[in-house]
Chains A and B, each alone.
Chain A
Amino acid sequence: MLLKQEAENPQITYNSNKMNSIDALKELLYKIADDQLIIGHRNSEWTGLGPILEEDIAFSSMAQDKIGQSEHIYNLLHQLGEADADTVAFTRNSAQFHSSQFVELPIGDYSFSLIRHFLFDFAEYLRFESLKSSAYEPLAQVSKKFFGEIKYHTMHANTWVNQLGKGNEESHTKMQDSLNYAWNYALGMFEQGPAEDLLISENIFIGEKALQDVWLGTITPLLTQSNLTIPAQENWKPIFGGRFGKHSQHLQPLLEEMTEVYSIDPSADW
């Protein structure tokens, strides 16, 4: 239903007065799953190109984890009446994606991919930690299931950020520059949903504002320990829009590449 509605409109629009808690829940699930699918695809672009063999394997494996997690969330959406996971993942255009603009940015150099991995994965870790006690039981179950996987992702990210933040002048400068560039995009992850109050009042989700506060409280000391500095607060300008289908020029080419095989033969088994 939602898909058809979206296909007729260039961007996702909501009438928050008319949204019920199921619509709000779907919006929450879409943004979680779309973020995971897009960053999973992006990070998989390092496969075969990673800095060393072991890191190549670890980073690719985590990218695969993300795509696997997104499939589980799409399956929850399917149970709520949305199309099946493959259809949802492979047949929408960029304006129908609820992912933040942060995850669609090109991989850049490894410092940017690591900083994004750090900022995104800690946000995801804390999101799932809160969702473990969600009143929507299927989501709580999935969150418990993937929590260990995401915990490893944060261990990996923090170890790298710490190594390079404290490494030498070159590594420190690259990491700090990437953090400065990534920051406002990262804040865009916490764009509020159209009917978040419903989810908060029904104890389904703590809300983006609360999540951002927990995230800041978690990553700030870790970045400080890595000799990295969060940009001054007066320069914070979150890059919003992704949750409502407004994306940069980078998402549509990613989707075309991701869906290349599916577009040739949707019934292909691979």
Chain B
Amino acid sequence: MDNKSDQTVNSIDPRITRAKIHTGNTSDMEGLAHFQTYEVFHQNKRGAQHKHVGIVHAPNPDMALLYAKEQYARREVTANIWVVPSSCVSATEYADDDIFITAPEKLYRNPASYKVMDKINAFKARGGKPTDNV
């Protein structure tokens, strides 16, 4: 059924019945042609990094900010929100993901790999004083 039906939806939800929604296919995506996606970045306190949390669809940055606030800051502690048009993002190709392949082997590049807690604890135990032989 491609034609709009004259029948409207009759629902147990009175709001739906009142809205007089046609039972035929009424989807109209044309109106969304001027919408674009915006990447949303959320900051939980001043000075902290903004973290990517998702996207919103909006016709312009002002509307994107309004929607980002409700989608992503409705329940979270929030200091600030950024929105960036998705079209402004440059990304690597997944086909080139072999450039990252040996990274997990290079644990020496990860600060967590350095076992220094015993030295720090010893330093604290000395009351923050350097060792005698220094």
Of B69-77, B89-97, B107-115, B121-129, the one touching chain A: B69-77
The main secondary structure of chain B at its interface with chain A is helix
Query: A2 an interface residue at 8 Å Cβ cutoff?
Result: no
On whether the beta carbons of A159 and B66 are closer than 8 Å, the reply is yes
Instruction: Report which of B15, B35, B60, B70 forms a contact with A58, defined as CB distance below 8 A.
Output: B70
Inside 8 A of B35's CB, which chain A residues have their CB? 52
Of B42-50, B51-59, B98-106, the one touching chain A: B51-59
Known: A163-B59, A163-B63. Is A54-B71 also a contact (CB below 8 A)?
A: yes
The main secondary structure of chain A at its interface with chain B is helix
Inside 8 A of A52's CB, which chain B residues have their CB? 32, 35, 57
- In Å, the complex CA distance between A54 and B70 comes to 8
Query: A259 an interface residue at 8 Å Cβ cutoff?
Result: no
Query: B62 an interface residue at 8 Å Cβ cutoff?
Result: yes
On whether the beta carbons of B70 and A61 are closer than 8 Å, the reply is yes
On whether the beta carbons of B57 and A152 are closer than 8 Å, the reply is no
What is the interface size of chain A, counting residues whose CB is below 8 A from a CB of the partner?
17
Smallest CB gap from B58: residue in A: A54
Query: A1 an interface residue at 8 Å Cβ cutoff?
Result: no
Smallest CB gap from A155: residue in B: B66
Inside 8 A of B79's CB, which chain A residues have their CB? none
Minimum distance in angstroms from A193 CB to a CB of chain B: 33
Minimum distance in angstroms from B85 CB to a CB of chain A: 15
Inside 8 A of B21's CB, which chain A residues have their CB? 49
Minimum distance in angstroms from A211 CB to a CB of chain B: 26
Instruction: Report which of A54, A155, A163, A257 forms a contact with B56, defined as CB distance below 8 A.
Output: A54
On whether the beta carbons of B62 and A159 are closer than 8 Å, the reply is yes
Smallest CB gap from B73: residue in A: A152
Smallest CB gap from A60: residue in B: B70
**20 CB-based A-B contacts, threshold 8 Å:** A45-B15, A48-B15, A49-B16, A49-B19, A52-B32, A52-B35, A53-B57, A54-B57, A54-B58, A54-B67, A54-B70, A57-B70, A57-B71, A152-B69, A156-B66, A159-B62, A159-B66, A163-B59, A163-B60, A163-B63
